[in-house]
Chain A
Amino acid sequence: MRIVAVTACPTGIAHTYMAAESLEVAARAAGHEITVETQGSAGSTPLTAEELAGADVAILAADIGVKGRERFAHLPIVEGPVKRGINDAEGMLAEAQAAVDAQPAVDPAAKLDTSGKVPANPALASVVAPGYKPGPGALLRTWLMTGVSYMIPFVAAGGLLIAISFLIGGASIATQVNGGTFDGHTYKEISDVTDIWGQVGIAGVLYYIGNTAFSMLVPILAGYIAYGMADRQGLVPGIVGGLLAVSIDAGFLGGLVAGLLAGAVVLAINRIPVHKNVRGIMPTVVVPLVSVTVVGILMIAVVGSPIASLMDTITDWLNGLNGTNAWVLGGLLGLMMAFDMGGPINKVAYTFGVASLASGNQDIMGAVIAAGMTPPLALALSTVVRPKLWTTEEREAGKAAWLLGASFITEGAIPFAAADPLRVIPSLMAGSATAGALSMAFGASSPAPHGGVWIIALIGTPGLWLVAILAGTAVSAICVSFAKTVGRAPAATATEAGASTPAASLTTAVHG
């Protein structure tokens, strides 16, 4: 078997080379051909096109981003932490052999034709280049991207299921399951999940499943941010912190806080010197217990209470705005909708829209829906128009974002916002404010609390409502495309300019 391999570790002076040597020794002993690209501090000799084309399998032993991962798109990939390359090269070779055996026989020329396709397991791009010591910003981004990469499948599964349930059952499906009022009809909440099938049908069931997947977005985001920071010990406090972020209505920004907090707490606990006898129970008992307690108390007491009072304050303030210029109110609601996408501020704006419906004002709901649709749409647009600004994984997420945005599932924008909040969120707010203000100025109205374009038949002045959405989408797409080019880490720019591979998107390996 002909193997191409990449080894990479955070410092790039020891493990990278040990893993390379270990893989080379083991491969030669077993009679395989191998070429290893050591992405370490001494610079790396890139794999040649011939080596890549002639290879049967790729082995990646790395704890940081593998540079130029898309080069292996045509190969089965065996992947592990760099230590596995050192300690268990034989095991990785055996897996590689199994992967090759599982492949249908094809000639090398045919294999190359597929090299443009997306890897089966597209990992994330990051700014970590070999030999580049990540600064705090790059490190933070790597952690956030770890969380986002695990969250994206939940967004895709949940969001698409909800959108599909609207398509086959009508947008009132959500209200039929959860209870509430939709376009004048009032439904009772179905409390027994097994009754959904009989009462609402398959669409209701799909909606419920999708919603359940969605309920895991923030816990998974928080859990895997902490995992990125502190390895598996971070998972428990991260996930519990994320669940608490949901309970206190802190949204995905609360999830970011919970994840970073959990990772930091675990790292801090592990700094405390402990007696040898206690060391054995540290990872199984002490660290989980202490970290969950600390993160939980911080989330409820320090993060939760201010959020609750903030939501009350903003709700009072919004209610006091009655009589303001309609388009100003629409713009404000737009800003709020895009600020935290499902978090406290978004929730206040959305609840304000639903409450207005009850009091007979349908314009506000129209503006809220328009403003909530533009974030995923704008990001989807940007990934198509300026693909190089986005990672492979983000471009994939962008495809689903079209449908999520059209369905008023603002959460479709969260993966992009969580990975790079400072650039993405203000851009999305600008477009949502535009959409909200225009929708109000046009007097577009919605009698239904959700549904996106699928309730277009119910919308008052639907044509102008769509204009508002398109304008908001364009504004956000332009802003975010611009923001993404500002203040990027020099390493990322250098890599993009210097690499011959498309977009030079680098991948972060998943630890352990």
Chain B
Amino acid sequence: MTITTADLVELQLPAGIDRAQATTILAQRLAASGRVTDQEGFLADVRAREEQMATGLDGGIGIPHARSAHVAQASVAFGRSADGVDFGAEDGPATLIFLIAAPDGAGAEHMKILGSLARKLIHAEFKDGLRGAPDAAAAATIINDAVAV
């Protein structure tokens, strides 16, 4: 089971968008791939989570995420933004955005994979790899390799 594919990667998010727009662009990818069954429902769940506490983190990372009934399979859509998108982090906008979709009531296996992805986000070499990825397929490979158990 892979958590992302080249179809779920957008290396050139448009400039000047806000976090809702960035999240929507990535959610569209997830919906098109069938991993998210109801885009609007899923986005509502992500918004609800984002309202509890902004998901921007130091070092240019945004991780909008939700456990949602509208998710068929644990997945990550990855977006890269040259200008950055404000995700509420104190040190500035996020250039690497991970939209993490977890199925509601999923077993521990799904969650472990997402957990190991989250752990990777701490490491500079993982982030640098994604910043330098030449194309979507390369970025997807980096993410999938990172969580390979």
List residues of A whose CB falls within 8 A of some B CB: 10-18, 20-22, 25, 38, 40-43, 63, 81, 83, 86-87, 133, 231, 267, 270-271, 273, 511
Which chain B positions have C-beta within 8 A of A11? Answer: 49, 65-67, 102
B96 interface residue (CB < 8 Å to A) = no
**Bound form: Cα–Cα A28–B114 in Å:** 23
**Bound form: Cα–Cα A376–B57 in Å:** 46
- Chain B binding surface SS class: mixed
Cβ-defined contact, B63 with A14, below 8 A: yes
Residue of A nearest to B98 (CB): A14
Chain A to chain B contacts (Cβ below 8 Å), 8 pairs: A10-B49, A13-B100, A14-B100, A18-B119, A41-B102, A83-B53, A86-B122, A87-B57
Residue of B nearest to A133 (CB): B67
Which chain A positions have C-beta within 8 A of B34? Answer: none
Which chain A positions have C-beta within 8 A of B58? Answer: 86-87
**Bound form: Cα–Cα A63–B104 in Å:** 20
List residues of B whose CB falls within 8 A of some A CB: 18, 20, 49, 51-53, 55, 57-58, 63, 65-67, 90, 100, 102, 104, 106, 108, 111-112, 114-116, 118-123
Among A12, A18, A273, contact of B121 (Cβ-Cβ < 8 Å): A18
**Bound form: Cα–Cα A125–B145 in Å:** 40
Cβ-defined contact, B57 with A86, below 8 A: yes
**Bound form: Cα–Cα A12–B110 in Å:** 12
Among A13, A21, A511, contact of B111 (Cβ-Cβ < 8 Å): A13
**Bound form: Cα–Cα A18–B108 in Å:** 17
**Bound form: Cα–Cα A231–B104 in Å:** 26
**Bound form: Cα–Cα A16–B66 in Å:** 13
Which chain A positions have C-beta within 8 A of B55? Answer: 14-15
Which chain A positions have C-beta within 8 A of B114? Answer: 13-14, 17, 41-42
- Distance in angstroms from A141 CB to nearest chain B CB is 16
**Bound form: Cα–Cα A304–B84 in Å:** 48
**Bound form: Cα–Cα A270–B53 in Å:** 12
Residue of B nearest to A86 (CB): B57
**Bound form: Cα–Cα A83–B54 in Å:** 10
**Bound form: Cα–Cα A25–B119 in Å:** 10
Among A18, A41, A42, contact of B57 (Cβ-Cβ < 8 Å): A18
Among A16, A25, A83, contact of B118 (Cβ-Cβ < 8 Å): A16
Known: A15-B55, A511-B53. 14 other contacts (CB 8 A): A10-B53, A11-B66, A16-B118, A18-B57, A18-B118, A21-B123, A41-B106, A41-B108, A41-B111, A63-B52, A63-B53, A83-B57, A87-B90, A273-B18
Which chain B positions have C-beta within 8 A of A41? Answer: 67, 102, 106, 108, 111, 114-115
Residue of B nearest to A26 (CB): B122
Cβ-defined contact, A267 with B51, below 8 A: yes
- Distance in angstroms from A287 CB to nearest chain B CB is 14
- Distance in angstroms from A478 CB to nearest chain B CB is 39
Per CB-CB distance, the 4 closest pairs between chain A and chain B, nearest first, are A42-B111, A17-B118, A21-B119, A17-B115
Cβ-defined contact, A10 with B52, below 8 A: yes
Which chain A positions have C-beta within 8 A of B51? Answer: 267, 270-271
- Distance in angstroms from A264 CB to nearest chain B CB is 12
Cβ-defined contact, B118 with A14, below 8 A: yes
**Bound form: Cα–Cα A271–B48 in Å:** 10
Which chain A positions have C-beta within 8 A of B106? Answer: 41
Q: Are A42 and B119 also in contact (CB < 8 A) when A11-B49, A86-B57, A87-B57 are?
A: no
**Bound form: Cα–Cα A22–B49 in Å:** 22
Which chain A positions have C-beta within 8 A of B63? Answer: 14-15, 18
Q: Are A13 and B119 also in contact (CB < 8 A) when A42-B108, A42-B111, A87-B58 are?
A: no
- Distance in angstroms from A488 CB to nearest chain B CB is 22
Which chain B positions have C-beta within 8 A of A40? Answer: 111, 115
- Distance in angstroms from A244 CB to nearest chain B CB is 26
Cβ-defined contact, B57 with A21, below 8 A: no
Which chain A positions have C-beta within 8 A of B66? Answer: 11
Q: Are A18 and B122 also in contact (CB < 8 A) when A10-B53, A41-B67, A86-B57 are?
A: yes
Cβ-defined contact, A43 with B53, below 8 A: no
Which chain A positions have C-beta within 8 A of B49? Answer: 10-11
Which chain A positions have C-beta within 8 A of B100? Answer: 13-14
Which chain A positions have C-beta within 8 A of B18? Answer: 273
Among A21, A271, A273, contact of B122 (Cβ-Cβ < 8 Å): A21
**Bound form: Cα–Cα A260–B55 in Å:** 24
Which chain B positions have C-beta within 8 A of A16? Answer: 115, 118
**Bound form: Cα–Cα A174–B104 in Å:** 57
- Distance in angstroms from A309 CB to nearest chain B CB is 37
Which chain A positions have C-beta within 8 A of B20? Answer: 273
- Distance in angstroms from A405 CB to nearest chain B CB is 38
Among A13, A17, A63, contact of B67 (Cβ-Cβ < 8 Å): A13
Which chain B positions have C-beta within 8 A of A15? Answer: 55, 63, 118
Residue of B nearest to A23 (CB): B122
Residue of B nearest to A229 (CB): B52
**Bound form: Cα–Cα A43–B123 in Å:** 23
Cβ-defined contact, B122 with A25, below 8 A: yes
- Distance in angstroms from A266 CB to nearest chain B CB is 11
Residue of A nearest to B109 (CB): A42
Residue of B nearest to A42 (CB): B111
Cβ-defined contact, B108 with A13, below 8 A: no
